[in-house]
Amino acid sequence: MTTMQAIQTLEDLNAALEASTSAPVLIFKHSNTCPVSARAWQRFQEFAAQAPTHLVLRTITVQEARAVSNECAARTGVHHESPQAILVVNGKAVWDDSHGRITAETLSEALRHHAS
């Protein structure tokens, strides 16, 4: 299983984006108070349990790191939503989706099509 790590600081965000130059990085932004986000989080965890080991998984809890979440949106060019998945390759967002469209299947497909 690929390990998930939280992005809590701008330094963490910088490190995640830098890591995307050598491996795909999947960032999951979520709210810890939203039921839709809770379902997407469960699906993200299902994906993580079978994700390729070269994939870097990072999470941003919006309530705990609002400034970092905003900076992630600015740096990737992906308008903030929650829940949201953003696939970053070579420092650029190559795919994103949100809400009920975040499933193990859509995440696997995004990885296959955009980070192979």
User: How confident is the model over 34-87, as pLDDT tens digits?
Assistant: 999 999 999 999 999 999 999 999 999 999 999 999 999 999 999 999 999 999
Q: What is the mean pLDDT of the chain?
A: 95
Domain boundaries, the chain: 4-114
Query: Hey, what are 70's tokens?
Result: 């905003």
Residue 116 has pLDDT above 90, yes or no: no
The superfamily CATH assigns to domain 4-114 is Glutaredoxin (3.40.30.10)
State the Cα–Cα distance between residues 98 and 2, nearest whole angstrom: 21
Amino acid 115: pLDDT:
82
Amino acid at 114: H
Give the global pTM.
Answer: 0.95
Residue 111 has pLDDT above 70, yes or no: yes
Amino acid 1: pLDDT:
56
- % residues pLDDT > 90 (the chain): 91
- Cα–chain center distance at 83: 9
Query: Hey, what are 65's tokens?
Result: 């790191």
Helix (H, G, I), strand (E, B) or coil at 93: strand
